[in-house]
Structure formats: C-alpha cells, structure tokens
Structure 1
Amino acid sequence: MAGQKNIYRRSFTLITIFLILITVTLIIAVFIAYKLTTKYVENEFTSKKIEVQEQTIKPYTEFFQTKIPEITSYQGFLDSASAANYSSTVFKAYPFVTRVLFYDIQIGNPTLRPYNAGISVKATYRFKPKPGRISALKDMAAANEEDFRLMALKLSRFISVADTTRLPTQDEIFETFYDVKPDKISYLNIPRREDIKIYQSLLKNKRSTAFYKQNMLTFFLDPYRLAIKNTHKELYQRVTIQPVVYDPLDVEHGHIVTEVTLPGAFSNFKLYFSSSRKHLSKEIDRRFLPIGGVVLLTYCFLVLICWLIYRNLNVNLKVFKLQYDFINNFTHEFKTPVSVIKIAGSNLRGDAELSERQRKHYGKILDEEADKLNELMNKLLSFTQLENRSINIHKQEINLNDFVKSYINTFRIKYPDFKLAYNIDDVTDFYSDPVLLGSIFQNLMENAYKYSHPGKKELFIDIKQDRQDVVFSFADKGIGVAKTEQADVFKKFYRIENQYNQNGSVGLGLAFCKELVNFMNGKIILHSKVNEGSTFVVILPLQN
C-alpha cells in the first residue's frame, strides 16, 4: 500500500509540476504574442501609409493619365468655348484643379518667330470654377509666360528631329508634351505624324504663309484640395497634407508619426500621419484578442487534461484503497469463522472423550460458522449477479403486514435489545420478489442495529402508498452519516471510518441494497444527521 501511495504521490507531483510549467509557458506565450503583435502593428503603421497615399492620389493619377491626354483628341482645334466646356468637366471631377490656362497656338513661318520655330500664341484664356458656372477671361499677357516659351522650345526641338516613320515613344511624349512643376502641369496636344511632316516642311520653306493650330493647357493645382482617403483608420488617427519641409520641433507627447511624399505636381507636399499611442494600443489589443483567446483556450485544454488525469488518479487511489480495505476485512471475515471451525474440528478429533452435550455444542458452532461463510459468499455472488443482471425477478403477492412482522420477530429474537416498531398505511398487498425485498429489509435492519449507540438501538419502519409507488422508510436513532459521505455510502467497498467498522465490514451492505433497488426499478434515498439518526427511504413501483 505504501509503495502504491508513493506512486500516486509522484504522479500528483508530476501533474503539479506540469500545471506550473504550462502556466509559466502561458504567461511567456502571452507576453511574446503581445510583443510580436505590437511590433507587427508598428510595422504596419510605417508600411500601410503607401496604401493611403495611393488611394488619396488616385484622382490625380486618373487626371494625369486619362483626362489630360483627352486634349490630343481635339487635334489642336480647341477654341475658347470648347476649352471652357473641357475645363468645366475638369473642375467638376477634380476639385484640386483651381484654374486652367488655355493657349490657342498657331505654327507658321519660322522667320516670323525665329526663337520658337514659328510657334506663337493666337489667344490665351483663363478659366476658373464659379458656383454653377465657369469664369472665362481672355488674357494675352500670358503669351510671354515662361511655361509657353518652354513648351514652344520643346516642341520646336521635337519637330526638328522627329522620325515620322514611327510613333513617338512614351518617354518622348512625356519629355516633349508634358511639363510637370510643383502645383502646375502644362500639356501640349500631340500632333499626328502627318502634321509633323507639315511642320518640318515649314521649317524648310521660308516663304510659306500658312498657319496650323496647336493647343496647350496649363493646369494649376492645389494639393490641399485633395480628398484624403484614410483606408486604415485603425492605424492612422490623423492624416494631413503638409509641405515637404514641414517638420515640427516638438511632436505631441505620446504620439508617433510617419510621412510619405506625394508624386508629380504635388512633390513639394507630403502626407503626414499621426496617431496617439493609446489609439494604436486599441488596435494592438483588438488584434491580440483572438491570439490571446487561442492561447487561453489551449491552456484551458491542457488544464482540463491535467484535471482529468488528476481525477482518474484520485478515483484509482480511492478504488485501490477500497479494494485494499475490502481484502483486509474480507480476510478477517473469513479468518474468524475458519479459526473457530478449526478449533471445533480439533476438539472433535482429539483423544479426549466428549460428552453428548459437548458434541452438540461443537456441531452447533460448526453449523453457525459455516452459515456465516455461506452467507458472505452468497452476498458476494448475489452482488455479482445483480451487476451482471443475471437474476430474474420472481413476482408474487406479498402481504406486507405479515412480511414485516416476520422480520421484526426474527430480529427481536436475534437482538433482544433492538426496539422495533412499524406502521403500514393504505397498502396491504404488494407484488414483488419476496427474496429481493427481504434482502433489502435484512441489510437495512442490520445496519440500523450495528450503527446505533448502546441504549439507542431503535428502528421505526413506515410503509405507505404514494400514487403508483410504495414508500418504505427505515428511521433509526443511530450515529448518522455526515453530508460529505452520504453520496459515497452506496458505493461498493466504501466504509465510514468509525469505531463501528473496526470489527469487520466489507462495505457491501448499502451498495447491495442500492443494486437491489435499482434492479427492482426503484430508488433509495438517505436523510441523515450526525448523532441524530438516519432515514433510508426505498421507493418501489406498486406493480413491480
């Protein structure tokens, strides 16, 4: 037993160590997971700004790549009215365009304009958005602006070296027909190859008086009118457009910042991102929650495994203890009658002459002890048969008054100091197996006598009908059963540790009663108070 207990103690110690280990591992895992989540969110704070930038400048990209090249489709035949209509669509779709400057250009004899290869401005118009309309203003002073002179020079160079056997490349188009400056984009419509051939012939023919049209538009942009699309509000609490040189000396306490430069005509501005650490902490906690939940669920699963192992070990330890006590008590129960039988047999085999009275006395001893052994073996055998459901119920009509009287008379003869009384209400005949019912009476009455103080060995049996059941109550004034043990007394081999169990009890009596009652489709209930007594209530079907 000591060796077995040591094994279980070692097992419990290992479980405790394992529980501590997984708890420490949980704490470390939670700490590492939170740190990694924090690092991941901080990295996203730095990298996701590109997505915000792309979404914010998407209208600008569309304007630059799609809307501006539409000018080429007019093939230089834009006039003030059509340019006004075109500018109106630009103002409506792209609020960051504040005004448009339209150049109605003509290309003629280069001797008239030697510096620009005959490229001159016929008329210039300024367009501005107004509520519900567009403001148009003719402004010839713009003809000498640097923008026009630069674009005219680029066009003249392109005409002089252009290869009309092929289309211009994208690089050539961008270098010649676009001029991107901070807050401003100038665009010149791209002439067809046939037009370029004509322009080249104009350069060679100094006497030509013909003129050809080209269109140039300059768009003035305001970056502050860009609609900021914060696609990651969980990361960026505040996004603003600031000049590239913007660099506050004192960043607000508890805030982290990052930035990204805007492209093209907005290259002198940047998106400035700012978030409080509290704002980021909320996002970190939100992302960490499922991770922490998985870790906690894993921990709970491991704890559940530990608890199941502990419970099984505890149950095994109790079963082992019960079996150990059963073997000891059962051995004692066998040893006593065997010893008495051996002594009686030795006396009978002895050489001394025995009187008739002595022979009868030894015979009676042998008979009684054999009955004890037989009763013990029958109880074990019956218990096994009950568990295996190998006993058949032999129903017959039982007169309860006669049945109870016979057991009371038997116990009064067996235990003269046992005070017995009974009462039967509204039920006389009962259909059941008298042998099985008798076993219940036998065990409960034996227990009532055995577990009562001297002078208080009393038992009152009350029988009554409750609807379709018969209720048998066995109320004694014995030592009682503690609440903590009331659920265990019906378990096989369980014994209450007290002085009444020191002289032999195998812990089968009440377990046997419960099995019998269950087998008869009934139930047994215990009501008990320590040192006040116990009441065993057996409920059996009236027509069992």
Structure 2
Amino acid sequence: MVKSRRNIYRKNFSLIIIFLILITIILVIAFITAYSLTGKYVENEFASKKIEVYEQTINPYEDFFQNKIPEITSYQGFLDSTSAARYATSVFFNYNFVRKIEFYDIRIGSPPAGRKRLGISVRSVYEFQPRGAKILGKKKYIPAGGTDFIDMAGKLNDFINSSDTVSVPTQSEVFRTFYDVKPDKISYLNVPRRQDVKLYKELFHTRNGTFYKHNMLTFLLDPAYLRIRNPHPELYQEITLQPVVYDPLTIEADKRVTEVALPGAFSNYKLYFISDKTHLDAEINRRFMPIGGVALLIYAFILLTGWLIYRNLSVNLKLFKLQYDFINNFTHEFKTPVSVIKIAGSNLRGENVMSERQLKHYGKILDEEADKLNELMNRLLSFTQLENRSIATKKEGIDIESFVKGYVETFRLKYHDFHINTELNGINFFYADPVMLGSIFQNLMENAYKYSHPQKKELDIKVWHERKTIFFSFADKGIGVPKSELNNIFRKFYRLENQYNQNGSVGLGLAFCKELVNFMDGDITVKSKVNQGSEFIVNLPYQT
C-alpha cells in the first residue's frame, strides 16, 4: 500500500498559520488606521462644529437686526411714545439681550438762517426698559452722550442732499446711512420713501416753517443675556462668552480650546470653547466602537470563510485518501485470491498427470479462494443494502450460551494462540437476527485478534442485560486506538496507520458493525487506551 504523504498536512498547517497572522496583522492595521482617522475626524469637528454653536447662539440677534429693527420704517416717522412703548415691549419679550431702548421723536425742517444743513432736531426722548418707561427729555434736549443722534442726523442730511429721488437706495446705502452699529449699541433711523426724500430736499429752498416727523431708536444690548446653545455636548464641555481680548496666559496640556468672534454690536465678544482631552477621547472611542465592531465582524467572516474552505479541502483530501486506500487495499484483496486461482488453474491445465490427492488439494485451494472473493463481494453488497435500508431482519430466538460458544470454538480452531474468555450474567435467551448478530461477533473478534500483539492475543466477552437492553462487551489487550481517532474508526473506508494494518483491510469492518447495530435499533461505543487495549460495547433491544 502506498503511504500517504504526511507533509501535506504540515504544509497546510503552515499556510493556515501564515493566513491567520496575515489577516490578524491586517485587522490590527485596520484598527490603528480607523482609530487614527476617527481621532482626526473628531478633532476637525471640534474646530468646525463651533460654527453650528455660533449660528444657533447668534440667530436671535440676526433675526432682531434683519427683521425686527426694520419694522420701525413701517411707521414712516409717526411713532409716538405709546406706539413706541408697544414696540419696545415686543422687543423685550422676544429678545432678552436688549436691555434698554431710547426713542427719539425727531423733527426735520428748513436750514436755520446762515446754515446749509437741514434743521434736524429732537422734540422728545423716551427711554424704555423691561420694567417700564421714563421720559429723558423733550424738544431739543439731547441726553448726555447724545452723540448717537448727532451722528445719525449728519448722515441723514448728507443722504437727503445727495439723493436723486428717482432710484431706490441700495442695501449698502441703507446700512451706511440709517444704521449705526457700535459695541453693545445699535441706532436706527426709519428709511424715508422717495416722495418723502423729495419733500425733504425742497426744504433746502423754502423757509415756510414746515416740519416733518421722523423717528430714531437706539438699542442698548447686553451680550450676557445671549442664550448660548450647545448642540454638540459630545464635543464641547464648556462654552463661555469672553471679551475678544481674553487670552489666558497658560492653557493646560490636557485641554482643547477653540473660539469664534461674534458679529455686529457683539463684535467685542467671542464664544470660547473648552474640552478636556479625556472628553474628546471618550467621543473618539464611542465613534470607533461601531467601526471596530464591523472590522471584527469582517475578520470573523474571513476566518469562518477560511475555515469552511479549509474544512472542505481537508474533507476532500481525506475522502481522496480513503478512496485511494480503498482501491489499493481492495485491489490487493482481490489480487491475492485471483493470483492463487490462476496458479492453481495453470497447474491443473498442465501436461503432467496429477494424482487424486493433488487434484483434491488444488480443488480445495480454488474453493477457499473463491469463498474469500465471495465474502468480500457479499460484505460490500450487504453494506450497500444496509445503507439503503433494503434488507429485512429475520428475528429468531437465540440461545446466548450456544451462540457465543459456537463463535468461541470457531476462533479457537482458527487461531490456536487466541485466548478467549466468556462471562454470561443471567442471559439465556432473546430475540434478534442471528445472521446480523453473527456478523457483529465475527468482525469484532477478528479485529481483537488482528490488532493485538503476538504475546497478548486475548479477548474477554461479557454479556448482561439492564431492563430492556442487552449488552455485549468485547475487551482485548491490543494496541489500542488514539483518543483523537475514536470518532473516525466507525467511518467507511477509514483505516488507522499502524504496523498491523498494512494489508488485508479495506476499512469496512467497524463501519459494517456500526451499520448493523444501527439497523437493529442499537448502538455501539468504544473505550480505548493506546498499548493497553480496547473495549467495544454493543447494546441491543432485549426481547424475550
């Protein structure tokens, strides 16, 4: 028999180790790369997401500046203290950062004698606060620090003087002329219509004492009342409002800091963002976990795929080996009797005259070798029938003592050095198929003799029953079966590699026993230790 090349398995094992190391290295590299990219992504978000915080914090101010303040123009200069108070109340209710409003009731008339500038004066000034209102002055009284009105009056005069009354002023012109934005303060004049500008321009050429009403409001703001919104607490632990000039002398190494300046009347302040490094590390870990989980799943999938491929290749390799061994051994089993038959036939056909004794001898040889071939063919046929469940059992009453004694005597005659001991514990009679049971005895006793050392050709046969089960034990003192092979010995065509198994076996004996026992609704188990022996226990339904 050609021996299988064991180095195939060593090479496969080496490839498996290399494969496992390779994909593990790839997994580690993937983890490191993914963690690094996640860290950079979080750092970038820490620097960029501040715009979202800025927008949500400054949105109320933008709405106030772009929508609420221009509402004054809709009054076209006819605001009085009552309507101005109502307007102020709506501002205080919706915009908490507005802490005070000064309302200027303005009159626009002809230039005073000897002057080229329109007579723009204050008739009265009112101050509104969230808890009430008080009058600051009337007529031409300008409160302390009233440069706001003077600056706005000058810009209004220049606008009227240079306006063409045909085109509508652009947004840029409106912002330059009718807005005055300073830190914590916004002043606003209502924007006149084109026909109003035309009337104002005529005042430069008339002295009829005509006056036109106009309004100006100054809003005093306090950034401390801005509501700081933080939609990303996972990035920013603390967000504070600080002066633009704020710059701490030292920043702790484990802190991350970024900032963004506020617009318009709050331009002297900035949003200051602070987070601990451990806080950002926790966010990095949180975002990395799903990525790591996916990488582990892919790793597990690759491992599973590799294992399935290896298992299939291993099964195919073992199947090929079994088939190769089967063909090799079966060919040898057929070749031996065929060769003997051919030699005997050649001698019988020879020219030399043979005696009657010689003829009987050659006839006996032909008969024995034909029986061997017939036994091999019958075993294969029976095995196939058992697998296909195409054989019927013929249960008969069996006298256990006579049945066991018959096989013991047969093997003692066949093998003179085979020592067989029997022990029957209260079993006399039961129903079973004697042919199938005989095949089980035949195979297990043959194996016990075949796989034992020359000095230890011993077999102990025990029979006993427990309730509705009968047990047959076959214990030898042979070479034993390695623990790793116990699950394989009942497989078809499987043969152990040992010195007693080089010729004369096709790997069907134990597989055939297993099929027979299963067909008889029983079971067969084995206990074995290398160089100490094996015990096969067959259990069958006990019917009397």
Same fold (TM over 0.5): yes
Q: Do the aligned residues in 2 keep the contact of 1:103 with 1:217 (CA within 8 Å)?
A: yes
Aligned counterpart, 1:136? 134
Q: Which moved more, 1:107-116 or 1:55-64?
A: 107-116
Aligned counterpart, 1:394? 392
Letter in 2 for 1:271: L
Residue 392 and residue 309 in structure 1: after superposition, are their counterparts in 2 closer, same or farther (change >3 A)?
closer
Q: Do the aligned residues in 1 keep the contact of 2:99 with 2:220 (CA within 8 Å)?
A: yes
Aligned counterpart, 1:104? 105
Please give the alpha-carbon distance, in whole angstroms, between the structure 2 residues aligned to 1:428 and 1:541. 6
String of CA shifts for 1:422-467, please: whole Å, max 9, x gaps: 467697445xx6544543343234334544674632212345663x
Aligned-residue offset at 1:31 = 1.9
String of CA shifts for 1:505-538, please: whole Å, max 9, x gaps: 3221111122334455654333455636413234
Q: Do the aligned residues in 2 keep the contact of 1:451 with 1:500 (CA within 8 Å)?
A: yes
Residue 414 and residue 351 in structure 1: after superposition, are their counterparts in 2 closer, same or farther (change >3 A)?
farther
Q: Do the aligned residues in 2 keep the contact of 1:425 with 1:465 (CA within 8 Å)?
A: no
Please give the alpha-carbon distance, in whole angstroms, between the structure 1 residues aligned to 2:462 and 2:298. 56
Residue 370, structure 1, aligned to residue 367, structure 2: no
Q: Which moved more, 1:227-236 or 1:111-120?
A: 111-120
Please give the alpha-carbon distance, in whole angstroms, between the structure 2 residues aligned to 1:421 and 1:328. 40
Aligned counterpart, 1:217? 217
Please give the alpha-carbon distance, in whole angstroms, between the structure 1 residues aligned to 2:543 and 2:158. 119
Aligned counterpart, 2:245? 245
Letter in 2 for 1:238: E
Please give the alpha-carbon distance, in whole angstroms, between the structure 1 residues aligned to 2:408 and 2:276. 88
Q: Do the aligned residues in 1 keep the contact of 2:465 with 2:542 (CA within 8 Å)?
A: no
User: Secondary structure at 2:192's aligned position in 1?
Assistant: coil
Q: Do the aligned residues in 2 keep the contact of 1:105 with 1:214 (CA within 8 Å)?
A: yes
Please give the alpha-carbon distance, in whole angstroms, between the structure 1 residues aligned to 2:490 and 2:4. 28
Q: Do the aligned residues in 1 keep the contact of 2:101 with 2:218 (CA within 8 Å)?
A: yes
Please give the alpha-carbon distance, in whole angstroms, between the structure 2 residues aligned to 1:452 and 1:424. 30
Aligned-residue offset at 1:542 = 7.3
Please give the alpha-carbon distance, in whole angstroms, between the structure 2 residues aligned to 1:150 and 1:100. 18
Q: Which moved more, 1:322-331 or 1:304-313?
A: 322-331
Aligned counterpart, 1:76? 77
Q: Do the aligned residues in 1 keep the contact of 2:520 with 2:540 (CA within 8 Å)?
A: no
Aligned-residue offset at 1:41 = 1.9
Please give the alpha-carbon distance, in whole angstroms, between the structure 2 residues aligned to 1:239 and 1:298. 40
Aligned counterpart, 2:24? 23
User: Secondary structure at 2:399's aligned position in 1?
Assistant: helix
Q: Do the aligned residues in 2 keep the contact of 1:91 with 1:98 (CA within 8 Å)?
A: yes
Aligned counterpart, 2:459? 457
Aligned counterpart, 2:472? 473
Residue 513 and residue 312 in structure 1: after superposition, are their counterparts in 2 closer, same or farther (change >3 A)?
same
Letter in 2 for 1:439: S
Q: Do the aligned residues in 1 keep the contact of 2:136 with 2:143 (CA within 8 Å)?
A: no
Uncovered stretches (5+) of structure 1, i.e. residues with no partner: none
Q: Do the aligned residues in 2 keep the contact of 1:481 with 1:528 (CA within 8 Å)?
A: yes
- Among 411, 414, 418, the alignment partner of 1:414 is 411
User: Secondary structure at 2:112's aligned position in 1?
Assistant: coil
Q: CA RMSD in A?
A: 3.2
Residue 258 and residue 277 in structure 1: after superposition, are their counterparts in 2 closer, same or farther (change >3 A)?
same
User: Secondary structure at 2:462's aligned position in 1?
Assistant: strand
Aligned-residue offset at 1:50 = 1.4
Q: Do the aligned residues in 2 keep the contact of 1:116 with 1:149 (CA within 8 Å)?
A: no
Please give the alpha-carbon distance, in whole angstroms, between the structure 1 residues aligned to 2:465 and 2:440. 14
- 1:250-399 equivalence runs, <5 A: 250-341=250-341, 344-345=344-345, 348=348, 354-387=354-387, 389=388, 392-399=390-397
Residue 156, structure 1, aligned to residue 153, structure 2: no
Q: Which moved more, 1:475-484 or 1:257-266?
A: 475-484
Aligned-residue offset at 1:111 = 1.5
String of CA shifts for 1:193-229, please: whole Å, max 9, x gaps: 3332322222221122x32221111111122221111
Q: Do the aligned residues in 1 keep the contact of 2:517 with 2:538 (CA within 8 Å)?
A: no
Residue 112 and residue 462 in structure 1: after superposition, are their counterparts in 2 closer, same or farther (change >3 A)?
farther
User: Secondary structure at 2:155's aligned position in 1?
Assistant: helix
User: Secondary structure at 2:248's aligned position in 1?
Assistant: coil
Q: Do the aligned residues in 1 keep the contact of 2:524 with 2:539 (CA within 8 Å)?
A: yes
Please give the alpha-carbon distance, in whole angstroms, between the structure 2 residues aligned to 1:66 and 1:83. 17
Residue 229 and residue 486 in structure 1: after superposition, are their counterparts in 2 closer, same or farther (change >3 A)?
same
Uncovered stretches (5+) of structure 2, i.e. residues with no partner: 414-418
Q: Do the aligned residues in 2 keep the contact of 1:517 with 1:540 (CA within 8 Å)?
A: no
Residue 405 and residue 364 in structure 1: after superposition, are their counterparts in 2 closer, same or farther (change >3 A)?
same
Aligned-residue offset at 1:232 = 1.8
Letter in 1 for 2:486: Q
Q: Do the aligned residues in 2 keep the contact of 1:527 with 1:534 (CA within 8 Å)?
A: yes
Query: Percent of pairs identical after alignment?
Result: 59
Letter in 2 for 1:366: L
String of CA shifts for 1:88-111, please: whole Å, max 9, x gaps: 222222121121111111122322
Q: Do the aligned residues in 2 keep the contact of 1:424 with 1:464 (CA within 8 Å)?
A: no
Letter in 2 for 1:86: Y
Q: Do the aligned residues in 2 keep the contact of 1:84 with 1:136 (CA within 8 Å)?
A: no
Please give the alpha-carbon distance, in whole angstroms, between the structure 2 residues aligned to 1:6 and 1:485. 19
Q: Do the aligned residues in 2 keep the contact of 1:448 with 1:459 (CA within 8 Å)?
A: no
Residue 20 and residue 88 in structure 1: after superposition, are their counterparts in 2 closer, same or farther (change >3 A)?
same
Q: Which moved more, 1:505-514 or 1:155-164?
A: 155-164
String of CA shifts for 1:222-275, please: whole Å, max 9, x gaps: 222211112222222222222222222311222222221111111122112222
Letter in 2 for 1:476: A
String of CA shifts for 1:84-139, please: whole Å, max 9, x gaps: 2322222222121121111111122322794751111111122222xxx3243424
String of CA shifts for 1:10-37, please: whole Å, max 9, x gaps: 4544443333322222222222222222
Aligned-residue offset at 1:46 = 1.8
Please give the alpha-carbon distance, in whole angstroms, between the structure 2 residues aligned to 1:2 and 1:535. 28
Q: Which moved more, 1:186-195 or 1:15-24?
A: 15-24
> What count of residue pairs does the alignment treat as equivalent?
531
